Structure 1
Amino acid sequence: MDEKTEELRDLFLDVADDGTVTEQQEETPGSLTDEQPEDERLDDVLDRMGERYEFETDWDDESYRRLVRGFFDEESDAELAEELEVEEASVARARFDLHLLREEDTEFPFELRELRRLRNADEDADLPEELETDEETIERALCVIEAQDEARTANDRFRDEFEEIVTDGDLSSRLARDAREDGLEEATEGMETDVSM
């Protein structure tokens, strides 16, 4: 301790009631992610959605969690269906239940707004005939419209929450990995690497 530091220390001890110079840290350091485990956070969102909407699919929480992670990892419905041992159509329907729409979900041989217009104009309209397509395509398009409407009403809140939860974990591990690599780089900086045996 140099002379200036000693003077400051003595001055501090004179004005402080306590003779302790440092304070013990009470709280543990925080983390980049919430203290609540990722599975619990996902389940919380799933529960809130289940209370608000009527799901067409009846999966267990683990399958829904896997679907959410797979969706944001850009896994296809076919890949997820194989892993979850369900039909590909069931995966798509579960995604719609969770407001997880892909760009290609809205691609039909007709405009979705035209389907909306026809449906709103006449509930008894023969939609497959009007749009020159089959019943199955119309049913899928109506599911997409329903998911879009629900998501829009909720301001895409649930999708955003899923994405934040899933990508938070990725961000945390990525930053930790980067920090380790940076530390290793600093530790090995200037070391002789051209070593001959």
Structure 2
Amino acid sequence: MTIMNEKTEELRDIFLDVTEEDTVTETQTETHGTLASDDEVDDRLRDTVAHMQDALDFTTDLTTEEYVRVVRGFYADEADAAIARDLDTTPDTVARARLDLHLLTDTDLDAPFEFDALDAALDDHDTLADAADALDVSPSTVRRYRRVRDARRDIRRVNDRYRDEFEAILTDRELTDPLTESVQEDGLDEATEGQEMDVSL
């Protein structure tokens, strides 16, 4: 039992020396203290959304807070309908809000025609109905994918900077915990490498 206690204390001292902290508890506390709280994350998301609202033409009357909810829902893999229920609005409004935010899904890009064909039809016809006839789809389908096309153009124009900002904000917290744990574990492994542990009782 004495050997176990001595080795445990020795490993504890090595760990604290590697992490340069007084206690394990303090190390854990400081690690979590560096992470952004949910309120801080929402503040940063709100700032990015507000900047987009100033710089771009948003197509819905959702508030900044509601747009933040759309961002959160999108990155949580929530369907438009689920977000719409929470915001007491329609899935179409949420879909348009996503496009305003440059948050496209695979479904958005799964058009029943090539986007080049859409461009040509819109260029060659004066009305949306005529363009729809040329593409053999409904006017609502043309309207929907025209919004997608416009969002893609905006995304390219700004080099996808806003989606990058959203992802950086939302992944900071998720990345910090495992990375910190990995650094601490690697440091402890390195410090104890080559040592034999006698834990026999």
Give secondary structure in 2 for the equivalent of 1:74. coil
Deviation at 1:32, TM superposition (A): 5.5
Of 80, 85, 88, which aligns to 1:85? 88
User: Does structure 2 retain, via aligned residues, the 8 Å contact 1:39–1:65?
Assistant: yes
**Cα 1:61/1:172, change in 2 over 3 Å:** farther
* Consecutive unaligned residues in structure 1, runs of 5 or more: 1-27, 192-197
Aligned residues: 160
1:156 aligns with 2:160: yes
Deviation at 1:63, TM superposition (A): 1.5
Deviation at 1:33, TM superposition (A): 5.3
Counterparts of 2:99 and 2:127, CA distance in 1: 25
Counterparts of 1:133 and 1:55, CA distance in 2: 26
Of 144, 154, 162, which aligns to 2:148? 144
Deviation at 1:120, TM superposition (A): 3.0
Q: Aligned partner of 1:57: which letter? A: T
Deviation at 1:89, TM superposition (A): 0.4
Deviation at 1:70, TM superposition (A): 1.3
Task: Identify the residue that residue 69 of structure 2 maps to in structure 1.
Answer: 66
Counterparts of 1:175 and 1:85, CA distance in 2: 39
Of 98, 103, 106, which aligns to 1:103? 106
Work out which of the two has the higher radius of gyration on C-alpha atoms and give 1 or 2.
1
**Cα 1:138/1:73, change in 2 over 3 Å:** same
TM-score of the superposed pair, with normalisation by structure 1: 0.69
Deviation at 1:130, TM superposition (A): 0.4
Task: Identify the residue that residue 6 of structure 1 maps to in structure 2.
Answer: none
TM-score of the superposed pair, with normalisation by structure 2: 0.68
* Consecutive unaligned residues in structure 2, runs of 5 or more: 1-29, 190-197
Structure 2 counterparts to residues 21-36 of structure 1, below 5 A: 31=34
CA-atom RMSD in angstroms: 3.3
Counterparts of 1:81 and 1:173, CA distance in 2: 32
Of 165, 169, 173, which aligns to 2:173? 169
Q: Structure with the greater relative contact order (CA < 8 A, sep ≥ 6): 1 or 2? A: 2
Task: Identify the residue that residue 94 of structure 1 maps to in structure 2.
Answer: 97
Q: State the percentage of identical aligned residues.
A: 37
